[in-house]
Structure 1
């Protein structure tokens, strides 16, 4: 619009000059009009378009948030400084000025901020860190001043003595200053620091800043010092009990069938965030609607877990030979998993989803945090099981094992860096070139041979059962274990070496968790 107006003004001036009319008055009018237009545009940019008061804040409380008992207790303790001011003043306690919620995406940080407003009966204003950042100098700082001013005005208007300002993704505006940071970003952060310093303990209404980020490591140290963000509360992924609590909350108003076992679903959804669990319940209801069912069954939840993990079924149509190879590959993973830890396989499918042509879903027995070398070796056996099954049945391998090899290499590297290899305790930066790769190859070579010995007795039965998997497309863990038991009964006289007998108490480690530990 601005470019069009400028072009029209220039053309008008040239035309008037050509026909002999004095253009000075016209130029003056154009200059005044352009100045007015620029001023109005700048004011519009200064307005915090995304910041908003949450009118439905009282519809959300801490009872609506599951799986975060520890984080909720910490936050409620901090919020008590707003609720019981006379009591804390008698003890000489300085009220908190800021609370920083950190953790992975989807764990409920925004919900906890809204519940905090309900808990303290405060006015609530939310904004995103990106709303404070503009290319025009001074816009971000002005928006920071405005949101704090509006928070106080809202509290007074509603007759409250406190207000909560929630800033999501604060790492956008609160990153470390200096280096290659933009000057406008620094000015915006400086204004935020000034506003937080300006909150006096006797000020009414009191303003509490709650911020959320999953990148607390890049925040400026001045923002994290005591007196600004006094508390840092970790809002982490829920454990099994937390996932069960979230599932109960999310399915409270859904018509569940009698066969639905929420505890089993909580075990299957290892590593899911609260947002993913909400999506899982929603997807199960959508699948039920698609099938014109009036109730949500366990099978719908099973399909929903697959969809959340792997994505929607794709339109790819592998050939019959490819489907047979995929079935052999996935059965190799499943056999290795069951031999490492019985009752670990939940579902086997060769239906293409996302980038995968098939997959085996495993159920961790418990949420583990520490792992032994034997447990890590077991996970490598499971990762190599698919490629080894292809070698036994087809005498060759395919490109389908690429991701399996990457996972196995990461786990082997974790063993070396944690002092669980034959090299003992090492420091990566002090290792000679090539030594780390050589040790990783040694570990993988040994476990590859171990995987071959585990799968060899099942080679012929695996070939036959893969044809059944191709015909049915997917099977559950119970059906697979029945077949596996029949196979083991047939060659019980030539039982597997004692080395591979594993008790059910040992933990099956998720590849994603191994990657997290390695980092």
Structure 2
């Protein structure tokens, strides 16, 4: 019945009953029958809803099986996970060596690195039933609901495995930090009850039972989890799923390029270089956005420029239609030239693009092209990164005598790098615990580092003042300069200024 039909009925029924009473009829039996009918309908309604949900569940198609070969990069993590899964497959060898099969595997790492995909591949690898849930699904305002859903999840896994004649089931819980966070000592919190039920279920898993249950959980914040959840006998293996390196990024790009028409000149290895610190999800988005750009241009195939535009979009957002004044465009141009010149001075060949095209919140940007993936940083390297970050603000001060709000993100980056230096014992403070040093000492050390590096940055950029002036008009006209164009321009202008 529609909403309006209910309102009309509610309005008519009392009028009819009052009219019958006015005529002298006994309306009490009618009221009793109506009350009984409404009560029966109310009781039967949940069952009808459950049946409807059950029918919908029956019609849902199972996801296509996913193998480890279909997951790009993560070779180390995949190898470690496969080794853990062997305990489910090789039962005879397990009994021979007296090995206790694993109950739980915890996948940790940044978002978009493929933790869910690896759990699905684990189910396919072991020929197991796959049941998935998110930690947020167990959070309710009603006491006991989360614990009940945990019980239902494990019951569902066992039932599905028996129904499909499988010997094992993989239960995947994403965002487990939502329900597995550290307990504060309270005994009646809903989250604690849910976590206690999960611990009970894990302790109740007898590895010799059939079907066997393996729990695979994922989190981006391992440090938030309760120690009781992390101990051996529950989550026995902790596997780090990191951002892919250059080789892994190339593998992921090739996987997502299989169903896309690429032009002959496309160099995915160059795209892998330019996408440093991209996750698997971001790389998939790069290929998808490149295909969208090609379709917009009505091109037959995806070209290298489409992939370059796609990287910019994934990093910075879509181009915006914001109109800026001539003075503002010139300020942005000087700012970006400051970043680009400083980057080429401290690390030649690293500028990939200089752009004045607004993207997302940025009015312009410089995209850097790291030559090699780097995970260990020296003091000199971090100081150079800070100088590159400060280059934009210093350039504005050189030509305008002041700064603008466009340097806010640059300063945040510089402060984070200074913090990394302090935590790594690379400052005058030496090897210290930040909590043992007063705020005044930290501020003094921070100001000393930034003032010194700002002075060095200004000294370097002042020697390129003529390059700024001569390249301003070219950048304003072209709006976008590739790394090679910028380096050629820089070399020509530098020769002219020295002549």
Normalised to the residue count of structure 1, the TM-score between the two structures is 0.86
Aligned twin of 2:241: 235
Say whether the 8 Å CA contact 2:467–2:490 is kept in structure 1.
Answer: no
Aligned twin of 1:275: 281
Matched, 1:429 2:435: yes
Q: Distance in 2 between matches of 1:132 and 1:325?
A: 52
Match of 1:112, SS state, is helix
Post-superposition CA distance 1:172-214 (Å, at most 9, x none): 2222334579733333222222222222122111111111111
Unaligned runs of 5+ in 1: 494-519
Match for residue 351 of structure 1 among 351, 354, 357: 357
Instruction: Name which of structure 1's ranges 437-446 and 68-77 shifts more when overlaid on structure 2.
Output: 437-446
Aligned positions of 1:51-450 closer than 5 A: 55-178=61-184, 183-450=189-456
Matched, 1:37 2:48: no
Match of 1:88, SS state, is helix
Match of 2:464, SS state, is helix
Say whether the 8 Å CA contact 1:224–1:230 is kept in structure 2.
Answer: yes
Q: Distance in 2 between matches of 1:213 and 1:420?
A: 31
Instruction: Name which of structure 1's ranges 128-137 and 297-306 shifts more when overlaid on structure 2.
Output: 128-137
Q: CA deviation at 1:416?
A: 3.2
Say whether the 8 Å CA contact 1:346–1:360 is kept in structure 2.
Answer: yes
Label 1:151 to 1:85 Cα distance change in 2 as closer, same or farther (>3 A). same
Say whether the 8 Å CA contact 1:284–1:300 is kept in structure 2.
Answer: yes
Aligned pair count reads 491
Unaligned runs of 5+ in 2: none
Label 1:18 to 1:421 Cα distance change in 2 as closer, same or farther (>3 A). farther
Label 1:488 to 1:116 Cα distance change in 2 as closer, same or farther (>3 A). same
Label 1:27 to 1:366 Cα distance change in 2 as closer, same or farther (>3 A). farther
Q: Distance in 1 between matches of 2:389 and 2:494?
A: 22
Match for residue 478 of structure 1 among 471, 484, 487: 484
Q: Distance in 1 between matches of 2:72 and 2:350?
A: 26
Q: CA deviation at 1:58?
A: 4.9
Q: CA deviation at 1:421?
A: 2.2
Post-superposition CA distance 1:394-419 (Å, at most 9, x none): 34332222222222233233333433
Say whether the 8 Å CA contact 2:180–2:226 is kept in structure 1.
Answer: yes
Label 1:44 to 1:236 Cα distance change in 2 as closer, same or farther (>3 A). farther
Q: CA deviation at 1:440?
A: 1.4
Match of 1:59, SS state, is coil
Label 1:409 to 1:14 Cα distance change in 2 as closer, same or farther (>3 A). farther
CA RMSD for the aligned pairs? 3.1
Match of 2:161, SS state, is helix
Instruction: Name which of structure 1's ranges 346-355 and 15-24 shifts more when overlaid on structure 2.
Output: 15-24
Post-superposition CA distance 1:228-262 (Å, at most 9, x none): 21111111111111111111111122211122211
Q: CA deviation at 1:424?
A: 2.6
Post-superposition CA distance 1:459-502 (Å, at most 9, x none): 12212211111111101000100111123334558xxxxxxxxx
Normalised to the residue count of structure 2, the TM-score between the two structures is 0.89
Match of 1:351, SS state, is coil
Say whether the 8 Å CA contact 1:54–1:125 is kept in structure 2.
Answer: no
Q: CA deviation at 1:361?
A: 0.4
Q: CA deviation at 1:265?
A: 0.9
Match of 1:259, SS state, is coil
Q: Distance in 2 between matches of 1:453 and 1:310?
A: 30
Label 1:178 to 1:400 Cα distance change in 2 as closer, same or farther (>3 A). closer
Q: Distance in 1 between matches of 2:319 and 2:188?
A: 44
Match of 1:203, SS state, is coil
Say whether the 8 Å CA contact 1:123–1:163 is kept in structure 2.
Answer: yes
Label 1:33 to 1:246 Cα distance change in 2 as closer, same or farther (>3 A). same
Match of 1:475, SS state, is strand
Q: CA deviation at 1:8?
A: 5.4
Q: CA deviation at 1:441?
A: 1.4
